[in-house]
A = this chain, B = another copy of it.
Amino acid sequence: MKATKKKVAPIAIDKYIDHIKSDFVSDLKELVDIPSVSMDPNCKKDITKTAVRAKELINKFGATAEIILTDGNPVVIGKFHLSDDYPTVTVYNHLDVQPADAEEWETAPFSMQIVKDKYLGRGTTDDKGPALTALYAANYAHENKIPININFLWELEEEIGGPNFARFLEVNKDNLKTNSIVVSDTIWVSRDKPAISYGLRGMQCMTFRLDTGKKDLHSGLTGGLARNPIGEMAHLISKCYDAKTGEVKIPHFYDDVKDLEQDEIDNFIASGFNTDIFQKAHELYSLRTTDVMDAAKRIWAMPTFEVHGLIGGYTGPGVKTIVPHFSEAKVSMRLVPNQDPNKIIQLVSDFVRSINPDVEICAQGTLQPYVGDFAGPYSQAAKRAMQRAFGKEPAFVREGGSIGAVLSMKDILNVPITFLGLSLPEHGYHSINENYDWQQASGGIKMFVHYFEEIVKIMDPKES
């Protein structure tokens, strides 16, 4: 990364995009090639390296940047400042990534491959590519004197639930003063259908553990009389939910689920969500339903129960005939408004105890569900910006995932939050062979520039 300032003449946006393409790709490769896996303690030095490179990158464009240390991973703040009289918008992204098992990938996950206009590697779409897209847009806006100050807030702990982010916001509140926030970490319905999220599912992770003895035993000697903790755990899971339909059977689980408004349903229908595209994009062999509206509700507006893995017993080749002495199920529930994670923990715990009192229950990560207002001025500005950039009217949908930072920013910074995502279902978000592409990056730069233009009209710095 060269340390010189990238000065661009006040040119048209299309020319700018052509001009910076090769720089964009090499900057992205530099970021993607650092394995900033926040879940892996061995990647600590790569997290630091990513923060340093990110600061250098922001500085390259002539903006100021600082690395703020926290009790966990650092946060990078960047500022394109034009005037104290202008309003400020803050763009949130994260630069940490999910783990990647190289053996399962078609290309090395931490050595970005460029195949025509497609960029393959862990973090390309989640969320280094979108971060860089917004940065190149901010540079253009700044050079072209769009009357707005643009800040960046790049987290490095998002993939582990941002355990230190709320405290970071509290401590740096003054430094982070802004009139609005745009979060760029969400996903479209399909390549042909831009989408703006206005809500996120919450989440409650839990583990269920059952110990029935001190050691695995010979199933000939003890089988029939000894309890089988994996069998009992399978029974417990089958009582918690119907895996075929997905229906959660824990009493009162759905009590607080808020019904969708008619305009939300209209938007879901208008989104053009399509189960065939979804199934193909995620390489699934079948789905729980092919009814479009049912399917859309399932991923955006309904809670889930999911079992992620079951530990215990023998998992090597063949069949070793032991009676296992423990089992542990890793489960989580995605939650929707107005479900309360604490109430859910209580419901699940009571239910699990009623089915099997020997099971030890442990609540892990918690994220509140979030729903914003898609009729408000920022959301409408986002809609216009996206339509101008991609030539298609975006749909307002909810996001099935969870972004902990959104809830912290809402509580602590207390300004409007909009979502402007660029990832596509086929980008392999959190999966193998993750990728991003120039079509989304170039359109995305335009989208952010238009968004900055749009919100100038509605943001009044005096109010902040």
Partner-B contacts on A (CB < 8 A): 39, 99, 104, 187, 201, 203, 205-207, 211-228, 230-235, 237-239, 241-244, 246, 275, 278, 282-289, 295, 298-299, 302-315, 318-324, 330-332, 334, 358, 364-365, 399-402, 425, 428-432
Given A231-B307, A283-B213, A221-B299 contact (CB < 8 Å): yes
The reply to whether B232 and A234 form a contact with Cβ atoms under 8 Å apart is no
Ranked 9 nearest A-B pairs via Cβ:
A220-B401, A231-B243, A218-B430, A309-B313, A224-B298, A214-B283, A234-B237, A234-B234, A238-B238
The reply to whether A284 and B220 form a contact with Cβ atoms under 8 Å apart is no
Alpha-carbon gap, A216 to B99, bound state (A): 12
Alpha-carbon gap, A302 to B220, bound state (A): 11
Q: Separation in Å of the A2 CB from the closest CB of chain B?
A: 35
Copies of this chain present in the complex amount to 2
Q: Provide the residues of chain B in CB contact with A302, threshold 8 Å.
A: 224
Q: Provide the residues of chain B in CB contact with A400, threshold 8 Å.
A: 220-224
The reply to whether B284 and A213 form a contact with Cβ atoms under 8 Å apart is yes
Given A310-B313, A332-B219, A278-B235 contact (CB < 8 Å): no
Alpha-carbon gap, A315 to B358, bound state (A): 21
Chain B's closest residue to A322 (CB) is: B308
The reply to whether A324 and B308 form a contact with Cβ atoms under 8 Å apart is yes
Q: Separation in Å of the A300 CB from the closest CB of chain B?
A: 9
Given A220-B400, A225-B299, A302-B224, A309-B287 contact (CB < 8 Å): no
Q: Separation in Å of the A389 CB from the closest CB of chain B?
A: 23
Alpha-carbon gap, A303 to B219, bound state (A): 11
Alpha-carbon gap, A335 to B305, bound state (A): 36
The reply to whether A299 and B224 form a contact with Cβ atoms under 8 Å apart is yes
Chain B's closest residue to A224 (CB) is: B298
Chain B's closest residue to A297 (CB) is: B224
Q: Separation in Å of the A306 CB from the closest CB of chain B?
A: 5
Q: Provide the residues of chain B in CB contact with A211, threshold 8 Å.
A: 285
The reply to whether A221 and B429 form a contact with Cβ atoms under 8 Å apart is yes
Chain B's closest residue to A219 (CB) is: B306
Q: Separation in Å of the A271 CB from the closest CB of chain B?
A: 14
The reply to whether A311 and B321 form a contact with Cβ atoms under 8 Å apart is no
The reply to whether A215 and B304 form a contact with Cβ atoms under 8 Å apart is no
The reply to whether B282 and A226 form a contact with Cβ atoms under 8 Å apart is yes
The reply to whether B304 and A308 form a contact with Cβ atoms under 8 Å apart is no
Query: Contact check: which of B232, B284, B303 meets A226 at CB < 8 Å?
Result: B284
The reply to whether A227 and B306 form a contact with Cβ atoms under 8 Å apart is no
The reply to whether A430 and B221 form a contact with Cβ atoms under 8 Å apart is yes
Alpha-carbon gap, A225 to B311, bound state (A): 24
Query: Contact check: which of B220, B295, B306, B324 meets A309 at CB < 8 Å?
Result: B324
Chain B's closest residue to A310 (CB) is: B310
Apart from A99-B320, A220-B400, list 7 A-B contacts with CB within 8 A.
Answer: A215-B431, A222-B284, A224-B299, A224-B334, A309-B320, A313-B330, A319-B330
Q: Separation in Å of the A195 CB from the closest CB of chain B?
A: 12
Chain B's closest residue to A313 (CB) is: B309
A-B contact list, 18 entries, CB within 8 Å: A104-B215, A213-B283, A215-B283, A221-B425, A221-B430, A222-B282, A222-B400, A225-B298, A226-B282, A228-B307, A230-B309, A234-B234, A234-B238, A234-B310, A235-B242, A238-B238, A310-B313, A315-B330
Query: Contact check: which of B238, B289, B298, B334 meets A219 at CB < 8 Å?
Result: B334
Alpha-carbon gap, A210 to B428, bound state (A): 22
Chain B's closest residue to A295 (CB) is: B225
Q: Separation in Å of the A313 CB from the closest CB of chain B?
A: 4
Q: Separation in Å of the A285 CB from the closest CB of chain B?
A: 6
Given A212-B285, A285-B213, A221-B307 contact (CB < 8 Å): no
The reply to whether B313 and A217 form a contact with Cβ atoms under 8 Å apart is no
